[in-house]
Amino acid sequence: MGSQDISPVLTGPVLVIGTGLLGASIGLGLRAAGVPVYLQDISPTVEAVAEDIGAGTRWSSLGEAKRASCAPQLVLVAAPPDVAGDLCVQALNTYAPHGDYPGATVTDIASVKSLPLRQVLESGADASRYVGSHPMAGREKSGPVAARGELFQARPWIICEHEAARTECVKLVRALAVELGAIVTALSASEHDETVALISHVPQAVSSLLATRLQHTPLYALSLAGQGLRDTVRIAGSDPRLWVQIFAANAEPMVRTLYGMRQDLDRLIATLENPTAPGARLDLAQLMSEGNAGVARIPGKHGTVPTAFATLTVLVDDTPGSLARLLADIGELGVNVEDLRLEHSTGADVGMAELSVSPAKHDGLVTGLTERGWKVVT
Amino acid sequence: MGSQDISPVLTGPVLVIGTGLLGASIGLGLRAAGVPVYLQDISPTVEAVAEDIGAGTRWSSLGEAKRASCAPQLVLVAAPPDVAGDLCVQALNTYAPHGDYPGATVTDIASVKSLPLRQVLESGADASRYVGSHPMAGREKSGPVAARGELFQARPWIICEHEAARTECVKLVRALAVELGAIVTALSASEHDETVALISHVPQAVSSLLATRLQHTPLYALSLAGQGLRDTVRIAGSDPRLWVQIFAANAEPMVRTLYGMRQDLDRLIATLENPTAPGARLDLAQLMSEGNAGVARIPGKHGTVPTAFATLTVLVDDTPGSLARLLADIGELGVNVEDLRLEHSTGADVGMAELSVSPAKHDGLVTGLTERGWKVVT
């Protein structure tokens, strides 16, 4: 741990290297908080767009003297996993201590953390000023045009301390996450990579594996698909370019989990090849029950233990304002909607709004909505 | 095909055998339409509850003479897959033609269709009056207490003609589905089973296989789970008892699809075991792209071709009425919400409402909502 234990204030300047969606969003959020931000990107166009939207000032537009007087307090590398480590090493060397300047704290926000940490440690650069981190936020669009300063609000931001890291550098990265409205979680780099393999990378791979099966499915069959299939393959629509890098950089923890899946899949196939054999149904019941047990362990919202909300389904016309009228009625009945899901069937001009509410509120809500003329299905 | 081509009217009586959630819901829907319904269940309690909620009259409460004068026009078997076929055979024999009575048309609504058809054909019963069907509707609750007459509105209802089936029997089952508000699709039994294997049974198995991996995941890791994991494992929470029967009864089409998945999983594991080998990244990119292609083939709502809706995300307070106010504002701006998803982060008391709207409406909506004081993130 570091020798000092002061609580640093994020005053900037912050140099953002890589000004795509996430880098530019961080720039916007920091600028809104009055922190000076400089921008640098391998693409002059991307860098210029980020400046145009107000994410900061291009570092390259400053003269050499000006750059020397604006040496960054924090360098944030927002680049893909396969270059993040090298860029951190370069930043540690470029913004090293000299004179009164204590050197920059350097963080990267790549979605794998062991690889860049290893690259920094092996480089011989001053690893005490490096603290990797990972804001768990994103959008389906990319590039600085899609950037939003609020992107990190109420999202987890994982900060990966390591033995060589100085405490004040860890605290500075924490201050960055807090400034942007994120919720900080501390994990080691290997804990982080194990975690995201399980909660993000393997689910992504499995969703993609399932979705590939739909390439040759007749369209009439797909037109009958319900919410179950749609939910299960939704993330299979994600951008291949980023995921290829993530899979390659976090291969080891992913493979450990995939071995277990292959074993279970082999067992399922063997059972289904002979579904009338003794024990076959017990085997299938065990798979389903283990799945029940796994999904039940995911916490509910607000980080509370999983709560069984009561659900009800209401038919809504597919016209502007009908969902609003429904929710206005629910609000007037004093009920808070914990979750809401809209579902449509093929060919139907009517939708189903599935509402999750506190179990204590369920029956009164059904009565109240029915009195107000809503068709409550569930 | 049948010898007559008349369009029969569903006048009843309809005898519902099996009065759980689906059977009782059908009874309620038909009673609301004025069709006489009789109820029969292996459990006297379940049968009595179904009568109490108004799904029909217990068949066993009629005297023998009364039963003879009320011979059913249609028998609907709403029983689990492993008994549905036998119950159809019994019904075909019990309600065979005699005197003026033309015999009952018999349908079952089990979620597999080849097995009951084969059982009927092999039984020697009059298969010309049997037409299997499958309403694609359900709830997470079960039993007649959860029954709702509107359960089938705007949902697909698959009707499986076969060579021996009489046309008027097919049309009568179609009339039943239409009466209950469902949207009819005609498939052969084997087409049906292939279809549901792909769009329902294999996704269920894959979701369960993934969720079993979460049984030993540390809770701190699960507390970081985002919407991607939650969506992918949502259906893994389904009832094992029903799914064991479905898997066992539709094993063959499931296994064919699972072979393909195992091959792809083996390839993925081999690639990730050696992620720096030549061609490894190309392999990963291909998996992701094939997943993209598969998910893009699922039609949008209303049976239209998939449409790229524009999305925007709005921060909403976690208090009653705030979502309603948002949707009221959207309605006043003249925009129809095509899809809505509420998302919360662990520990946060603020939610994100992700809205899908027509791309033409997107920019005006962002401006309008921002003017009304909403924080638009996306």
Q: Are B362 and B370 in contact (CB under 8 A)?
A: no
Q: Which of the four pLDDT bands, split at 50, 70 and 90, describes residue A339?
A: confident
Q: Are B314 and B375 in contact (CB under 8 A)?
A: yes
Question: Chain B closest CA to A60's CA: distance in Å?
Answer: 29
Q: Look at residue A3 in the predicted model and tell me its pLDDT.
A: 43
Q: Look at residue A343 in the predicted model and tell me its pLDDT.
A: 63
Of B247, B288, B350, the CB nearest to A284: B247
> Is B308 in the A-facing interface, judged by CB distances under 8 Å?
no
- A201 DSSP assignment: I
Determine the Cα–Cα distance for residues B297 and B281; give it in Å rounded to an integer: 25
Determine the Cα–Cα distance for residues B87 and B169; give it in Å rounded to an integer: 18
pLDDT in tens, A93-113: 999 999 999 999 999 999 999
Q: Look at residue A96 in the predicted model and tell me its pLDDT.
A: 96
Contact between B230 and A298 using a beta-carbon 8 Å cutoff: yes
For B16, residues 6+ apart whose C-beta sits below 8 A from its C-beta are: B23, B24, B26, B27, B37, B38, B39, B40, B50, B55, B56, B76, B78
The candidate with the shortest Cα–Cα distance to A298, out of B302, B225, B34, B65, is B225
The candidate with the shortest Cα–Cα distance to B357, out of B324, B334, B332, B374, is B334
Higher pLDDT, A115 or B314: A115
| Average pLDDT rounded to a whole number, residues A34-61 | 93
Contact between B207 and A273 using a beta-carbon 8 Å cutoff: no
**In chain A, where the domains are located:** 14-187, 195-288, 310-377
Question: Chain B closest CA to A71's CA: distance in Å?
Answer: 31
Size of interface A-B (CB pairs under 8 A): 450
State the architecture of A14-187 in CATH terms: 3-Layer(aba) Sandwich (3.40)
Give the residue carrying structure tokens 């190309």: B282
Q: How far is CA A186 from the centre of its chain?
A: 16
Higher pLDDT, B40 or A310: B40
Q: Is the pLDDT of residue A344 over 70?
A: no
pLDDT in tens, B224-266: 888 889 889 989 988 888 899 999 999 999 999 999 999 999 9
Question: Chain B closest CA to A185's CA: distance in Å?
Answer: 9
CB-CB neighbors (< 8 A) of B285 in chain A: 240-241, 244
- A159 DSSP assignment: E
In which order are the strands placed within the sheet that holds B156-160?
Answer: B132-135, B156-160, B183-186
For A219, residues 6+ apart whose C-beta sits below 8 A from its C-beta are: B297, B299
Q: How far is CA A311 from the centre of its chain?
A: 27
> Is A372 in the B-facing interface, judged by CB distances under 8 Å?
no
Q: Which of the four pLDDT bands, split at 50, 70 and 90, describes residue A302?
A: very low
> Is A97 in the B-facing interface, judged by CB distances under 8 Å?
no
Question: Chain A closest CA to B176's CA: distance in Å?
Answer: 18
AA letter at A255: V
Among chain A residues, CA nearest to B242:
A285
CB-CB neighbors (< 8 A) of A222 in chain B: 199, 297-299
* Average pLDDT, rounded, for chain A: 88
| Global ipTM | 0.77
pLDDT in tens, A163-180: 999 999 999 999 999 999
**Omega cis (within 30) before A13:** yes
Q: Cα–Cα distances in Å, from A157 out to A174, A180, A287, B215? A: 9, 10, 34, 24
Q: Is the pLDDT of residue A319 over 80?
A: no
Contact between B378 and A200 using a beta-carbon 8 Å cutoff: no
> Is A296 in the B-facing interface, judged by CB distances under 8 Å?
yes
Higher pLDDT, A295 or A339: A295
Q: Is the pLDDT of residue A140 over 70?
A: no
> Is B14 in the A-facing interface, judged by CB distances under 8 Å?
no
A-contacting residues of B 216-245, CB under 8 Å? 217-226, 228-238, 240-241, 243-244
For A302, residues 6+ apart whose C-beta sits below 8 A from its C-beta are: B318, B344, B346, B347, B348, B349
Q: Cα–Cα distances in Å, from A331 out to A315, A341, B328, B331? A: 17, 17, 11, 16
The candidate with the shortest Cα–Cα distance to A296, out of A286, A304, A306, is A306
Determine the Cα–Cα distance for residues B197 and A238; give it in Å rounded to an integer: 24
| Average pLDDT rounded to a whole number, residues A13-23 | 96
Higher pLDDT, A207 or A143: A207
Q: Look at residue B140 in the predicted model and tell me its pLDDT.
A: 61
Share of chain A above pLDDT 90, in %: 61
Structure tokens that stand for A24 in this block: 């530019």
Q: Look at residue A357 in the predicted model and tell me its pLDDT.
A: 82
User: Could you tell me the pTM of the whole model?
Assistant: 0.77
> Is A145 in the B-facing interface, judged by CB distances under 8 Å?
no
For residue B159, the cross-strand partners are: B133, B186
Q: Is the pLDDT of residue A2 over 60?
A: no
The candidate with the shortest Cα–Cα distance to B346, out of A4, A41, A182, is A182
Q: Look at residue B326 in the predicted model and tell me its pLDDT.
A: 86
Q: Is the pLDDT of residue A14 over 80?
A: yes
End-to-end CA distance of chain A: 56
Report the top-level CATH class of A310-377.
alpha beta
Q: What is the CA radius of gyration of chain A?
A: 25
Contact between A347 and B297 using a beta-carbon 8 Å cutoff: no
List, run by run, the mean pLDDT of 10-residue segments along chain B (378 residues): 58 96 95 96 91 93 89 96 96 95 96 96 97 87 82 92 96 96 94 95 96 89 87 89 91 95 96 94 92 87 51 77 82 80 58 79 90 82
Structure tokens that stand for A314 in this block: 């209401």
Among chain A residues, CA nearest to B376:
A150
Q: Look at residue A355 in the predicted model and tell me its pLDDT.
A: 83
Q: How deeply is B241 buried, as exposed, middle or buried, from its count of CB atoms within 10 A (0-12, 13-18, 19+)?
A: exposed
Of A251, A269, A330, the CB nearest to B255: A269
∠ CA(B117), CA(B121), CA(B125), 5° rounding?
115
The candidate with the shortest Cα–Cα distance to A212, out of A244, A231, A237, is A237
| Average pLDDT rounded to a whole number, residues A302-315 | 63
Q: Cα–Cα distances in Å, from B185 out to A224, B155, B160, B174, B205? A: 9, 10, 9, 9, 25
CB-CB neighbors (< 8 A) of A362 in chain B: none
Report the top-level CATH class of A195-288.
mainly alpha
Question: H-type helices in B124-233, by residue range?
Answer: 167-179, 189-196, 202-212, 219-222, 227-233
Structure tokens that stand for B153 in this block: 């509105």
The candidate with the shortest Cα–Cα distance to A90, out of A139, A63, A123, A60, is A123
* Dihedral sign, Cα of residue B210, residue B212, residue B216, residue B220: positive
